Amino acid sequence: MPVLTPSRVAIVLLTLSLLSFLWTFGLPQQLAEPSLPLINHNGPDQKPNQPAKVEPNEVFEDFGRPYVPPGSPRHTPIKAPEASKPTPTPQPKPAESKIAEITGEEDNKGKVDDKQKEKEKEKEKEKEKEKEKPKENATSAPAPVTSVTSVTSALAPFSTTASANATGKAPVRPNKFCKDVHGAPNVMVIVKTSKAEIQDKLPTHLKTLLSCVPNFLIFSDHAGTIDGFTVHDALDTISNATKTSHNEFNEYEKIQQDKNYKPDAGKTKDLDKWKFLPMVYKAHKMRPYSRFYIFIEADTSLSWTNLLQWMDRLDYRIPYYSGAPTYLNDVKFAQRGSGIMLSYGALKQYAKMYDERYESEWEKRVGKECCGDMVLATTLIESHVEFYSSFPLLQGETPATLDWTDRHWCAPIVSWHHMTPTEIDLLWSFQRNWTSKNGWEVPHLFRNAFDDFVLPHLEGTKDGWDNLSQDTKIVRPKKQDIEEKKKEKELKDKLEREKQEKENAKQKEQVKDADHSAPKSNEKETRDNAMDLSKYGNDIDNAAENAEKCKHLCEITEDCLQWKFTSKGDQECLLGKVIRLGRKADKKGSEEGWTSGWMLDKIKKVTGEWNEDCKDPKWKFNQ
């Protein structure tokens, strides 16, 4: 009988099929889990907040994606439910629990067959959860993003650092968060300074504004460091022929030869105009993928939150060249102290033209002109970049010298100029308080700055103060002028009386006795009008006699909001139609100082009218 018969072959095939079926479906196995999502957590050897490597030609994408706090269900890996018990409600876990999940400790627990050990581990797990509940509430709970009045809601939604909130350490300071605000990595801030002023003015910027800016550069007339930050030499690419033919570079050579040399501030100021063109070019080449570049001086105060909100409204591909407008001859350009804003689109065109024309044309042009910011405007015109006026967003004044009008009232403040380090620090504190209370998406306006920095200092009368009133000037006349004016007035009054008497005599002859009352009434009315005009005229004549009379004239003048008086010289009274704070002005030696004052009721009324038209921030510029 043969070994392989049809019946035996059929039995073998059925047996193999049955074994295959049992192997596939009958034996116990662990259910497949979905792959863990790739989350940008810091590894064991990676430092917190370590920036990712950026390719040279990389362009940042929009950072407007919603913020998902660490420990939320979106960050928690999805886990398959166990067959022996219902799926527990997912709870936020600390970083240690997440690491345990990723390393596979939960899988090892599922393989334990001993039910008693499994129950004991479950009890231990429940105890650990009870201990960690306070910790989770303090560090892993997502910050409320619906409220803009709390400090945490203002800062946390814009943080991209997961590890800082997932640990049991103290909350990160606000300046850690402000580097991660929406759009912050897309903006480059460039500070221009000199060796003569860098130690006095730059440390304040490093502690305030630049502590929040993730990408910034410092350019000067020398290379070095300050507080660990690199200072770049903006003049090192100037040709030797130019350096030898212009005397201002003698000071530059002394700076290069002796690191301890303390240059003269006046001489280093002459080097400023040479910095602009190379500085703008180098800033773009050092970070070509930034969307916007803002160039400021060491005495410029910049609002970080308002700047980011402004840039977020613009298209970086459009060639923007913007600033506070000023004129020199026929050239309209951005004033350097207020800040110069250039977009990626503008610098892309400028860099191309710079490579073609700087050595042959532009460098020689700088030597013939007075100002580097003006020459920059001419080179941008040749690069086909149009100027956009950013008034009043970028401001060339200080809060003390600005004329506070309805033109500024509802506009956001992006910059101030001519600020001392103390004033810069004060404004920075105001900005920190603003973002803590209102978040990073609400701009602070000129009216907010007025309420904080100007209004508290306004008084009815303030001695030793010059409030910069300048619309109307009244000078006390000399004695001879007073006597001549008095004689003229007496003669004029005499002629008026004679004329009035003649008119009254004619009326008496033409009317009946019953109508005599009418002329008397007209005579009285005429006399009253003359007195009123005479009284108002006397107020003008006497306004320069003392501070009280100057103040009185401002009170009776409808559009007068402030006044100032001085007894020096011929004595002066000046009235103002706009609000200015001014500055302290004590008398020097025998010279008399100024006394100033404001019409507080009028100011309250006019600012109230401005507030009614201030429903939305006025971001419009180039008007």
Coil vs helix vs strand at 77 = coil
Where along the chain do its domains lie? Answer: 184-454, 462-479+535-613
Taking residues 60-81, report their average pLDDT.
39
- Mean residue pLDDT across the chain: 77
Which pLDDT belongs to residue 81? 41
Q: State the pairing for strand pair 301-302/572-576.
A: unpaired
Instruction: Give residue-wise pLDDT tens across range 517-554.
Output: 434 444 444 334 333 334 456 778 788 888 999 999 99
In CATH terms, the fold of domain 184-454 is Spore Coat Polysaccharide Biosynthesis Protein SpsA; Chain A (3.90.550)
Q: Count Cα neighbours of 32 within 13 Å in the Cβ-side half-sphere.
A: 2
pLDDT surpassing 90 at residue 114: no
Please answer whether residues 338 and 300 qualify as being in contact, where contact means their C-beta atoms are separated by less than 8 angstroms.
yes
Q: What pLDDT score does 63 carry?
A: 37
pLDDT tens digit string along 572-596?
Answer: 999 999 999 999 987 665 567 899 9
Query: Long-range contact list for 246-253, CB < 8 A, 24+ apart?
Result: 246/367, 248/274, 252/221
CA distance 383 to 405: 36
| pLDDT score of 93 more than 90 | no
CB-based burial label for 590 (10 Å; 0-12, 13-18, 19+): exposed
3 state SS for 10-72 = HHHHHHHHHHHHHHHHHCCCCCCCCCCCCCCCCCCCCCCCCCCCCCCCCCCCCCCCCCCCCCC
User: What are 340's two structure tokens?
Assistant: 């110069």
Name the token pair of 169: 């350490």
Report yes or no on whether pTM surpasses 0.85: no
**Which residue in 121, 118, 149, 143 sits closest to 68, CA to CA?**
143
pLDDT band at 275 (very low <50, low <70, confident <90, very high): very high
Residue 182, phi-psi category: left (phi > 0), alpha (psi -120 to 50), beta (remainder): beta
- Which range, of 148-157, 171-180, 429-438, 483-492, averages the lowest pLDDT? 148-157
Burial 466-479 (b: 16+ CB within 10 A, else e): bbbbeebebebeee
Helices (H) and strands (E) in the chain, counts: 23, 19
Burial class (CB in 10 A: 0-12, 13-18, 19+), 421: middle
Look at residue 330 in the predicted model and tell me its pLDDT.
87
Q: Please, which pLDDT band fits residue 281 given cuts at 50, 70 and 90? A: very high
Please tell me the predicted confidence (pLDDT) of residue 6.
84
pLDDT in tens, 232-269: 999 999 999 999 999 999 999 999 999 889 998 888 99
pLDDT at 623: 46
Q: What DSSP string describes 373-415?
A: HHHHHHHHHHTT-EEEE-TTTB-SS-TTT--B-HHHHTSBP-E
Q: For residues 208-217, give the mean pLDDT.
A: 96
pLDDT digits 0-9 by tens, 309-355? 999 999 999 999 999 999 998 899 999 999 999 999 999 999 999 99
**Per-residue pLDDT for 101 more than 60?**
no
pLDDT digits (tens, 9 = 90+) for 21-47: 777 776 555 544 444 444 343 444 444
pLDDT at 4: 75
Question: Among 2.60.120, 3.50.4, 1.10.8, 3.30.70, what is the CATH number of 462-479+535-613?
Answer: 3.50.4
Q: Under a CB-based contact definition with an 8 Å cutoff, are residues 274 and 243 in contact?
A: no
Query: In the predicted model, is pLDDT for residue 486 greater than 70?
Result: no
Task: Give the per-residue pLDDT at 26.
Answer: 65
Length of the chain in terms of residues written: 623
Amino acid at residue number 57? N
CA distance 316 to 300: 23
Q: What is the pLDDT of residues 346-374, one digit of tens each?
A: 999 999 999 999 999 999 999 999 899 99
CA 598/CA 600 separation, integer angstroms? 6
> Cβ distance 296 to 302 under 8 Å?
yes
Residues 124-177 pLDDT 10s: 666 555 544 433 333 333 333 333 333 333 333 333 333 333 333 333 344 447
Query: Per residue in 549-567, pLDDT tens?
Result: 999 999 999 899 999 999 8
Residue 206 has pLDDT above 90, yes or no: yes
What pLDDT, on the 0 to 100 scale, is given for residue 88?
A: 46
Neighbour count for residue 22 (Cβ, 10 Å)? 10
Give the CA distances from residue 455 to residues 74, 458, 568, in Å, rounded to whole numbers and listed in that order: 49, 5, 28
